[in-house]
Amino acid sequence: MEHRLWIILAALFFECKGEDRVIQPTGDVIAAEGDTVTLDCSFETTTAFPYLFWYKQEVNDFPKYILKCYSQTVENAADFEKDRFNAAINNKSVPLKIQKLQLSDSAVYYCALQPTVTGNTKTLYKNLWSKDNTILDNIH
């Protein structure tokens, strides 16, 4: 039985520095289990050596970091298989290639250009709380 995968590209324009931005085509990508797909992302930046990121967001969940590209280097997140998720900066684009598609790959994929948050020179803090409202950790 053939399973269809739905991969959605979200058109996000992360304003980084006045002129910096990423451009993703909108729309669904439909593929069969075991196929290979390439998700496009182009970017404009004034940075000589940009850092670009790919994130995956499943239904009712937050975006999860997949990988980071800079110069000729690709760093995958620990929980994403390097042999299945790969990207490389090529001129002004950083396409994400997903091989050997699985049903669990159905998600929305985001491309981002560092820095995605600007205008704040202070350290950002996030407190992680447990269900009984006790602090678990303070991340800087």
Bin 92: left if φ > 0, else alpha if -120 < ψ < 50, else beta: alpha
Q: What is the mean pLDDT of the chain?
A: 77
Q: Which residue has the higher pLDDT, 39 or 78?
A: 39
Per the CB < 8 A criterion, the answer to whether 25 and 38 are in contact is no
Residue 2, pLDDT score: 56
Question: Is the CB of residue 23 less than 8 Å from the CB of residue 49?
Answer: no
| pLDDT interval class at 85 (50, 70, 90) | very high
CA–CA dist 82, 115 (Å, integer): 24
Identify the DSSP state of 124: P
Q: Report helix, strand or coil for 41.
A: coil
**Residue whose C-alpha is closest to residue 74's, from 61, 64, 63, 85:** 85
Say whether domain 33-113 belongs to CATH 2.60.40.10. Answer: yes
Are 5 and 105 a contacting pair, CB within 8 Å? yes
Three-state secondary-structure class, residue 29: strand
**Model confidence at 126: pLDDT above 50:** no
Q: Provide φ and ψ at 76, rounded to 5°.
A: -90, 150
pLDDT digits (tens, 9 = 90+) for 16-69: 445 788 999 888 899 999 999 999 999 998 888 889 999 999 999 999 999 999
- Both tokens of residue 129? 């709380």
pLDDT of residue 46: 85
